Chains A and B, each alone.
Chain A
């Protein structure tokens, strides 16, 4: 009896500590060039008495930054010192390692039993050429790029670490960090006769997954609302395709389209008030827009071809979609107000699943050739298609809200996996579900307050 209690409390204590068990998606950097910017992240000192470190903050920072492909992380075993504050840094020792940027920090007790993370980012070479600094000023103050004290809790330690990654990434690249954003995806487990489908939301690194919908019937095409609070998706739970909009925080949802025939491919307008979708209510698939709160449909295409996979331009003025009106699936663009559709792709016999990059200058797509299906970008000005991946069944590209990485579905040893490729195609990594298939990723936008 007593032993049992000890055992149980052991389990309770261990659970939050065994972080890898929470990561349903394992991340593996699979290829591409090593980043050019040499950075060292010193393990933070843990100054909380009687509590073990639940998350190694510096490890979260390291894996976040590594994932971008912009950085070369200096291995810890090469470090000549392990400072935790600027005053302790001997910059000569880091210069000797060829480091350009250095991160040091510590986790200290905060108010009411909470934590306080203090960290600093240094440019090793900053101020070397100038003599403007007064003789009294400490070297580390000249070289510091950013320094923060961030209050947090045991539960939010990982999230705070991602927030720190954002601050570091922004300071060093000028791009907004996406480390606190989330992803949605569909999982499928079981044999062909007993498939179970789940729509899940997780942190962008695969941690903290939670299921927002379970079904014995297929779930498709999750699409984030522009405020990152809702997901639109297609569910076959009633033995036909219907579109739902679900609030991620409350779990409440609403059926927004259940027309006769196909209800598919929902895509949000930038103002979050309308969905573009594909309906077959008039006989074959056509593009429509739907006013969500004042249910009104507007039809944008009219022909005997398949018209589907609409995506709204960031300026809200046009919709890009796929159509096989020319005989093969190609991309077209049509004004939201209605009008003639303009063909965008002429290269390759299969171009589908278009979506705009956040700056509206490119479109990500699935490009099919005799070598299978790969993820590509289309430059709208030059019309050039850049193929970024080399799988045979790559699909469902979803771009990060900062436009720097593309999340997509791929196939690995007959299993569906998620992969990430940088926008220039140089860095690739895969996210593998521990069992079953994972597919149809959707990278959430930045969350608006």
Chain B
């Protein structure tokens, strides 16, 4: 029951995310992909999830992971303060990663959850875990399998920026998607 609701919520989130992102010039084709996957997931088939919707890929030879203009090139998802919500800016990329994992069952990722330094360290481990789990749920929803996705929370322990202002903090509130290849 709970899972069903989750799917509905995630679904609407992805559709909304997809629609809103079509309004942005650089991600025209991204919206299409999102809708494709949603449909396929609804239909219960797993063969329809393909990267064929990516016109950019037509000229790119090789693994789409290496295509710098693919939404897969985005490997760091940033978060608002004290939030684990994947913002519209990143939904296209996360969904693309989910699709890629679904199509490439041999690929696997580690999701590293991070926070800024404010607050208690172990509580921040919890926040980092929650962020990484939010990304994981979306990947699984796109058809990635449980064993393809490992979650590790580092909390505030591994900052990429060490300054003490909102600009630095914003860079540290992130989930890194790391492929094992």
Contacts and interface: CB of A to CB of B under 8 A. Distances in A.
Interface string B148-164: 00011111011111111
Size range of the interface on B?
Answer: 20 to 34
Interface string B132-173: 010000000000000000011111011111111000000000
- Which of B123, B129, B163 has the most CB atoms of chain A within a 10 A radius of its CB? B123
A220 B121 contact: yes
A373 B118 contact: yes
A220 B157 contact: yes
Contact of A308 (B123, B157, B162, B163): B123
B119 A352 contact: yes
B125 interface: yes
B125 to A, nearest CB: 5
Given A218-B157, A220-B122, A353-B122, A306 B152 contact: no
Interface in B64-103: none
Interface string A220-240: 110000000000000010011
A236 B126 contact: no
A240 B111 CA distance: 11
Contact of B161 (A192, A264, A373): A192
B122 A309 contact: yes
B153 A262 contact: yes
Interface residues of A, number: 38
B25 interface: no
B83 to A, nearest CB: 12
B81 to A, nearest CB: 12
Interface in A394-412: 395-396, 411
A409 B152 CA distance: 25
B123 A284 contact: no
B157 A353 contact: no
A352 B121 CA distance: 10
Contacts of A264: 122, 125
A61 interface: no
B117 A396 contact: no
Contacts, number: 95
A352 B123 contact: yes
Nearest to A411: B164
Contacts of B154: 218, 236
A293 B52 CA distance: 56
Contacts of B157: 218, 220, 236
Contact of A278 (B119, B126, B158, B160): B126
A241 B153 contact: yes
Contacts of A353: 120-123
Nearest to A354: B120
B129 A352 contact: no
B152 A366 contact: no
Contacts of A440: 121
Nearest to B151: A261
A221 B121 contact: yes
Given A192-B161, A261-B151, A414-B164, A306 B119 contact: no
Contacts of A307: 126
B125 A218 contact: no
A393 interface: yes
A350 interface: yes
B127 interface: yes
B129 A280 contact: yes
Contact of A192 (B118, B125, B160): B160
B152 A395 contact: no
A368 interface: yes
B119 A241 contact: no
A104 interface: no
A57 interface: no
Given A192-B160, A306-B130, A414-B164, A262 B125 contact: yes
A322 interface: yes
Contacts of B164: 393, 411, 414
A349 to B, nearest CB: 10
B18 to A, nearest CB: 27
A436 to B, nearest CB: 12
A157 interface: no
B163 to A, nearest CB: 8
A368 B82 CA distance: 13
Contact of A350 (B119, B129, B155, B163): B119
Given A192-B159, A284-B129, A322 B152 contact: no
A399 to B, nearest CB: 16
Contacts of B127: 306
Contacts of B151: 261
Nearest to A265: B122
A264 B133 CA distance: 17
A278 B161 contact: no
Given A262-B153, A309-B120, A309-B122, A284 B160 contact: no
A285 interface: yes
B129 A285 contact: yes
B123 A322 contact: yes
Nearest to B110: A239
A264 B157 CA distance: 13
A206 interface: no
Nearest to B172: A192
Given A192-B160, A411-B164, A414-B162, A285 B121 contact: no
8 contacts: A192-B159, A236-B154, A261-B129, A265-B122, A306-B126, A308-B126, A373-B118, A373-B119
Given A192-B162, A218-B154, A262-B153, 14 more contacts: A195-B158, A262-B129, A264-B125, A278-B122, A308-B122, A308-B126, A309-B120, A309-B122, A352-B119, A352-B123, A353-B120, A366-B120, A395-B119, A414-B163
